[in-house]
Amino acid sequence: MKRWDQRPFEIKNLFNPAFCGVILYRAMQGYEEVNSEGMPFSIALLILPLCLHKDSREIIASNPRRYLLKTIDQHPQILINFAQRARDLMPYALEAFGLLMERGCFKVSTSGCLQTVPRKVRKTISGSPETISCQRVARLVGKEFAHISDRATIYTTFGVRP
């Protein structure tokens, strides 16, 4: 990964660690609404490829009451190049987790799950329509991952090997 001052302007804006961190935080909050133990780290790495990819985000947002697995079954285009997107976005996710950890926004439980720390990130979702959409979809995806509650199923569904 390039140093911050050597990154292109577009990369700095889209993959800003604070923005990516907010998306990850919203997903962890959504996960905790269903499962208070927290989100496993391994599935947290799948959040950014789903929420930052506009086509995937729009499909998920247009079906908020439908199960994620059913949405993927009916819209297999979400899976196109998903594994590569996940690999490409991993450094940005790790950078965002580093910022969140440094700011004390989450903790790691004894079972290795990520748990949000209350009152570290605003509850209200604000920003441009695009950033609001990313945050809302992140919460939905977090909740759906908690409902599925099996990492192997999630990874198999998305065609990613851990």
Give the tens place of pLDDT for each residue, 62-101. 988 889 999 999 999 999 999 999 999 999 999 999 999 9
Q: Which residue is it, tokens 């926004």? A: 105
Query: What is the pTM (predicted TM-score) of this model?
Result: 0.93
**Left (φ > 0), alpha (ψ -120 to 50) or beta: where does 104 sit?**
left
Distance CA 106, CA 26 (A): 11
Domain boundaries, the chain: 9-158
Burial class (CB in 10 A: 0-12, 13-18, 19+), 11: middle
Give how far the C-alpha of residue 101 lies from the chain's centroid of Cα atoms, to the nearest Å: 16
pLDDT, tens only, 35-50: 999 999 999 999 999 9
Element at 11 (helix H, strand E): helix 9-14
